[in-house]
Structure 1
Amino acid sequence: MKIEQIYTGCLAQGAYYIESNGEVAIIDPLRETQQYVDKANAEGAKIKYIFETHFHADFVSGHVDLAKKTGATIVFGPGAETSYDIHTAKDNEEFKLGDVIIKVLHTPGHTLESSTFLLIDEKGKDHAIFSGDTLFLGDVGRPDLAIKSDLTKEDLAGMLFDSLRNKIMPLADDVIVYPAHGAGSACGKNLSKETVGVLGDQKQTNYALRADMTKTEFVKEVLDGIAPPPQYFAKNAMMNKSGYDNFETILKKGDTPLSPEEFEAVANNEDALVLDVRNEQEFVKAHIPNSIFIGIHGGFAPWVGALITDLKQPILLVTPEGKEQETVTRLSRVGYDNTLGYLEGGIEAWQNAGKDIETIKSVSVQEFAQDFKNNNVEVLDVRKDGEYKSEHLEGDNVKHFALDYINDNMNTIDQNQEYYVHCAGGYRSVIAASILKARGFNKLIDIAGGFGAIKNSDLPITAFVCPSTL
Structure 2
Amino acid sequence: MKIHQFEDKGLAHFSYVIMSDAEIAVIDPTRNPRQYEEFAMLHDARITTVIETHPHADFVSGHLELSDAKQATIYVSAAVGAEYPHTTFDEGQEITVGKVTLRAINTPGHSPDSISVLLLDEEGKEHAVFTGDALFVGDVGRPDLREDVGQETATREDLARQMYHTTRQKLMTLPDHVLVYPAHGAGSLCGKALSEEKSSTIGAEKLSNRALQPMSEEAFVAFITADQPFVPRYFAYDVELNRKGASKFDSSTKKVPVLEPGTELEEEGLVIDTRPREQFKKGHLPKAINLQDGPKFETWLGSIVNPEEKFYLISDDEETLRELIAKTAKIGYERFICGALAAAPVESTETLPDLDLAQFKAHPENYTIVDVRNESEVKEKRIFPNAVEIPLPELRERLDEIPTDKPIVVHCAGGYRSAAGASIVAIGVEDVPVYDLSEAIQEFNPPATK
CA shift at 1:299, angstroms?
1.6
Deviation string for 1:294-332 (max 9, x for gaps)?
A: 122142111111110133524333244521221011101
Mapped pair 1:408 → 2:397: yes
Q: Which amino acid in the other structure matches residue 426 of structure 1?
A: G
CA shift at 1:230, angstroms?
1.9
Query: 1:158 aligns to what?
Result: 161
Q: Which amino acid in the other structure matches residue 237 of structure 2?
A: K
Query: 2:145 aligns to what?
Result: 145
Query: 1:376 aligns to what?
Result: 366
Q: Which amino acid in the other structure matches residue 246 of structure 1?
A: K
Stretch deviating more after TM superposition (432-441 or 376-385) = 432-441
Write out aligned runs for 1:9-408 (5 A).
9-146=9-146, 147-148=149-150, 149=152, 151-210=154-213, 212-254=214-256, 256-261=258-263, 264=264, 267-269=265-267, 271-338=268-335, 339-344=337-342, 346-347=343-344, 350=345, 355-363=347-355, 365-372=357-364, 376-396=366-386, 398-408=387-397
CA shift at 1:228, angstroms?
4.5
Count residues in correspondence.
Answer: 443
Distance 1:178 1:364 in 2: 49
Q: Residues 33 and 429 from structure 1, CA distance in 2 versus in 1: closer, same or farther, beyond 3 angstroms?
A: same
Q: Residues 131 and 255 from structure 1, CA distance in 2 versus in 1: closer, same or farther, beyond 3 angstroms?
A: farther
**TM, length-normalised to structure 2:** 0.93
Q: Which amino acid in the other structure matches residue 409 of structure 2?
A: Y
Q: Is the 8 A contact 2:275 2:314 kept in 1?
A: no
Q: Which amino acid in the other structure matches residue 310 of structure 2?
A: Q
Deviation string for 1:103-132 (max 9, x for gaps)?
A: 111111111110001111112221111100
Three-state SS of the structure 1 residue aligned to 2:266 is: helix
CA shift at 1:417, angstroms?
4.4
Distance 1:181 1:225 in 2: 19
Which residues of structure 1 form unaligned runs of 5+? 458-462, 464-470
Q: Is the 8 A contact 1:177 1:196 kept in 2?
A: yes
Distance 1:408 1:358 in 2: 22
Q: Which amino acid in the other structure matches residue 198 of structure 2?
A: T
Q: Which amino acid in the other structure matches residue 125 of structure 2?
A: K
CA shift at 1:233, angstroms?
0.8
Distance 1:293 1:335 in 2: 21
Q: Which amino acid in the other structure matches residue 341 of structure 2?
A: L
Distance 1:229 1:296 in 2: 21
CA shift at 1:28, angstroms?
0.6
Three-state SS of the structure 2 residue aligned to 1:328 is: helix
Q: Is the 8 A contact 1:94 1:103 kept in 2?
A: yes
CA shift at 1:421, angstroms?
1.0
Three-state SS of the structure 1 residue aligned to 2:421 is: helix
Q: Residues 294 and 163 from structure 1, CA distance in 2 versus in 1: closer, same or farther, beyond 3 angstroms?
A: same
Mapped pair 1:426 → 2:415: yes
Query: 4+ runs of 1 displaced by more than 6 Å?
Result: none
Q: Residues 37 and 108 from structure 1, CA distance in 2 versus in 1: closer, same or farther, beyond 3 angstroms?
A: same
Distance 1:248 1:238 in 2: 21
Q: Which amino acid in the other structure matches residue 343 of structure 1?
A: L
Q: Which of 440, 444, 448 is the matching residue for 1:454?
A: 444
Stretch deviating more after TM superposition (444-453 or 144-153) = 144-153
Q: Is the 8 A contact 1:78 1:106 kept in 2?
A: no
CA shift at 1:253, angstroms?
2.2
Deviation string for 1:78-107 (max 9, x for gaps)?
A: 422122111111311110001111111111
Three-state SS of the structure 1 residue aligned to 2:129 is: strand
Q: Which amino acid in the other structure matches residue 223 of structure 2?
A: E
Distance 2:294 2:21 in 1: 39
Q: Residues 150 and 122 from structure 1, CA distance in 2 versus in 1: closer, same or farther, beyond 3 angstroms?
A: closer
Distance 2:12 2:356 in 1: 32
Identity %: 35
Distance 2:253 2:228 in 1: 35
Three-state SS of the structure 2 residue aligned to 1:58 is: coil
Q: Which amino acid in the other structure matches residue 388 of structure 1?
A: V
Distance 1:138 1:175 in 2: 16
Distance 1:164 1:384 in 2: 29
Q: CA RMSD in A?
A: 2.1
CA shift at 1:215, angstroms?
1.2
Three-state SS of the structure 1 residue aligned to 2:135 is: coil
